[in-house]
Chains A and B, each alone.
Chain A
C-alpha cells in the first residue's frame, strides 16, 4: 500500500478521536489516540521481529526501535538516541513524518500533541510486546523536530 494512505489515515484517526472523545470537555484527552497507537505498535512489532534472534539487552532493543523499526514505519531513522543508563531514553527525530508537512518552526505548535500521541502509543506498544513496560511522552519545541522520552518502569 502506498505511504500516503497511512499519512491520511493517521490524520483521520486524529480527527475522529478529537471529535468524538472531546465533545464536552475543554482539556483535550488524547488517551484513546495513544491507545490506538499502542495496539498498532503491539501488533506490528510482533510481525516484524518474528524471525529475528533474541535481543541482547534493553539498549539493544532501543537501538532496534531507532533504526530498523523507525525506518520500517517512518521511512527514516531516529537522528539521536540518548540515555542515562537508568531507564530513561530520549529519541530525537529532526524531521518527524507527521509534522514535516505541517510547519517548519512554531506555527501550529499548539496542535503538535495531537500528531505525536499516536506515535507515543506505537513506541509504548512495541516495547510492551518485547518485554519493556514504559511511559512514553513527546516533546515538540520546534516543528518538525520531535523528542520522545521513554521512561522504563521497573517494578
Chain B
C-alpha cells in the first residue's frame, strides 16, 4: 500500500469536498430549522466562526502586517479569498465616502453543483462568506457589516458581497486589570 497516489487532482477534490460538505450541512439545517431566516443567521454565524480562525491561518501563512486603510483591507481580503477559495473576486463599487465596497465573484466554487428549489428562494446560501469576512476583520480590530447583494443562485449574473466599515475596535483592557 506504499504506492503514492497521483490519480486525482487534489485541488479539485478539495474544492468539491468543501462544496459538498457545505451543501449537506445547509440541507440538514433546512430540515432542522423551521424558518429560513434562522438558517441564514446560522450560516452567517458559521462563517463568522470560521473567519475568526481563518484570519490567524492567513496571517501566519502570509506574514502580512496591519492594514493601512480600507483599500488595503479590501486587497488583503481579496488575496485571502484567492488563497482559500481559489477564485479572485473583483473589488468594486466603492462608495463616495470610501467606507463601503463590494466583492464581485463571477464564478463561485461554493455554489457549483447547487440549485435552489422554488421554496428556498429566501435562503442566502452564500451567507457563510459574509460571516467569514466579518469574523476575520473583527480579529484585526475592524468592525464591519457584510451582506449579499447579488446572488447567482437567484438568477443574478454575479455574486456580489457588500462590505461596510463601521468603526475601528479599540484595545480593550483585560478584565480585572487597571
Question: Which of A4, A66, A71 meets B57, CB within 8 Å?
Answer: A4
Tell me how far the C-beta of B74 lies from the nearest C-beta in chain A, rounded to whole angstroms: 20
Contacts of A63 in B (CB 8 A): 1
Contact status A8-B42, CB under 8 Å: no
0/1 interface trace, chain A 1-19, chain B, CB 8 Å (1 if under): 1111110111011011100
Residue of B nearest to A8 (CB): B50
Contact status B20-A40, CB under 8 Å: yes
The answer, yes or no, to whether A36 is at the interface (CB within 8 Å) is yes
Contact status B13-A73, CB under 8 Å: yes
Please, how many residues of chain A have a CB less than 8 angstroms from a CB on the other chain? 37
Contact status A67-B1, CB under 8 Å: yes
Please, how many residues of chain B have a CB less than 8 angstroms from a CB on the other chain? 35
Residue of B nearest to A12 (CB): B46
Question: Which of A8, A39, A47, A72 meets B24, CB within 8 Å?
Answer: A39
Contact status B32-A6, CB under 8 Å: no
Question: Which of B14, B25, B28, B49 meets A6, CB within 8 Å?
Answer: B14
The answer, yes or no, to whether A127 is at the interface (CB within 8 Å) is no
0/1 interface trace, chain B 33-69, chain A, CB 8 Å (1 if under): 1000000001000100110011001000000000000
Residue of B nearest to A21 (CB): B32
The answer, yes or no, to whether B5 is at the interface (CB within 8 Å) is yes
The total of Cβ contacts below 8 Å across the A-B interface reads: 97
The answer, yes or no, to whether B165 is at the interface (CB within 8 Å) is no
Question: Which of A1, A68, A77, A78 meets B109, CB within 8 Å?
Answer: A1
Contacts of A40 in B (CB 8 A): 17, 20-21, 24
Tell me how far the C-beta of B84 lies from the nearest C-beta in chain A, rounded to whole angstroms: 4
The answer, yes or no, to whether A129 is at the interface (CB within 8 Å) is no
> In the complex, what distance in Å separates the CA atom of A73 from the CA atom of B14?
7
The answer, yes or no, to whether B85 is at the interface (CB within 8 Å) is yes
Tell me how far the C-beta of A33 lies from the nearest C-beta in chain B, rounded to whole angstroms: 9
Contact status A1-B5, CB under 8 Å: no
> In the complex, what distance in Å separates the CA atom of A72 from the CA atom of B13?
6
Contact status A16-B42, CB under 8 Å: yes
Tell me how far the C-beta of B127 lies from the nearest C-beta in chain A, rounded to whole angstroms: 13
Contact status B1-A1, CB under 8 Å: no
Residue of A nearest to B47 (CB): A12
Contact status A44-B16, CB under 8 Å: yes
The answer, yes or no, to whether A135 is at the interface (CB within 8 Å) is no
Residues of A within 8 A of B (CB): 1-6, 8-10, 12-13, 15-17, 20-21, 32, 35-37, 39-40, 43-44, 47-48, 63, 66-68, 71-73, 75, 77-78, 81
Could you list 17 A-B pairs, sorted by A, with CB under 8 Å? Answer: A1-B11, A1-B14, A4-B84, A5-B14, A6-B21, A8-B53, A9-B22, A16-B29, A17-B28, A37-B24, A39-B24, A43-B20, A44-B17, A47-B16, A63-B1, A72-B13, A81-B1
Residues of B within 8 A of A (CB): 1, 3, 5, 7-8, 10-11, 13-18, 20-22, 24-25, 27-29, 32-33, 42, 46, 49-50, 53-54, 57, 83-86, 109
